Amino acid sequence: MLEKSIASDRENKEVASAANKLVTLASAQMSRNRQSAAVASAEKALRLSKDLSVVFGAARILIEAGRPAQAASLAEQLHSRLQKEPQAHARLIEGEILLAAGKTPDAIQKFEEARQLADTWLGRVDIGRAYLQADAFPEASSEFDAALNRRGEAAAVFLDDIPSYHYFPVVLYYLGRAQEGLKSSGAVERYRAFLDIKTGSEMDPLVEDAKRRVEILSR
C-alpha cells in the first residue's frame, strides 16, 4: 500500500507526502528485518525532504540499522536550526545513539536536555526506554504512563499535518515491560492491548516477544 501511494505522490509532485511515507515504509521494512531496503528508503526520503518529521524518522532508522554516524550528521543539521523543536529532536537523536550504544546514563542526560527545550511526546517515550534499559522500572512506568495519558499527541508528534500514530503502539509494549519489572498484574493487559493493535503484523520482534511474555505471565 505504501509503495503504491508513494509512487502516486511522486507522480503528482507531492514531495513532502512521499518523503514521510518513505520513512514509514522504512520502519515497516526494518520490522521485517529488511535492513538494506529500510536504509535505502530512509535515504530516498532525505533526498526528497528535510522536514523535521523526515529527518528524525530517518535518523531512527539509521540508528537501528547500526549507522550512528549518519544519524549524528542528521542531528547536527537539526542543531543548526533556530527553533526549539528541531534542537530538542536533535538531542533526542543523540540520546538514541547513546542508548543504542549501551550508554544509558548519558542517554538519560541527553533526553533530559531535550526536555528542557521542549517536553515532547517522543521525548517521554525515549526517556522511558532509557529507564527501562537501566531496570529503573518505577521511573520507566511513570514516563510511559505520561505518554499513554498524552496519547492524543501521538497523532501529530511533529505539530504538523503528517499522521504519526504509528509511533504509539510500542508505548503499550514498553509499559507492559515496565509493569512486568514491577511485578504488576497489569503487564499482561498492556501486552494484550499492544497485540490487539498489531493484529496481522508478521515478523515483528516486539510482537513475538509480547506473545511470549503473555504466555509466560498467564501460566
- What does residue 49 show for φ and ψ, rounded to 5 degrees? -150, 150
For 22-54, what is each residue's pLDDT tens digit? 999 999 899 888 999 999 999 999 999 999 999
The whole-number pLDDT of residue 73 equals 98
Write the pLDDT tens digit of every residue in 177-199. 999 999 999 999 999 999 999 88
Whether the pLDDT of residue 210 is over 90: the answer is yes
Q: CA–CA distance from 39 to each of 30, 50, 126 (Å)? A: 8, 16, 21
pLDDT computed for residue 162 by the predictor: 77
35: cell is 535492513
Residue 152 has pLDDT above 90, yes or no: yes
| C-alpha triplet 133, 145, 51: angle, nearest 5° | 75
Q: What is the pLDDT of residue 151?
A: 93
pLDDT at 160: 75
Place of cell 514491577: 182
Three-class secondary structure of residue 48 per DSSP? helix
- Read off the amino acid at residue 45: A
Q: What is the pLDDT of residues 91-143, one digit of tens each?
A: 999 999 999 999 999 999 999 999 999 999 999 999 999 999 999 999 999 99
Helix (H, G, I), strand (E, B) or coil at 69: helix
Residue with cell 533556530: 82
With a cut of 80, say whether residue 203 has pLDDT above it: no
At 60-96, the pLDDT tens digits run 999 999 999 999 999 999 999 999 999 999 999 999 9
Average pLDDT, the chain: 94
Q: Class for domain 2-167, per CATH?
A: mainly alpha
pLDDT, residue 38, reads 97
Show me where the domains of the chain are located.
2-167
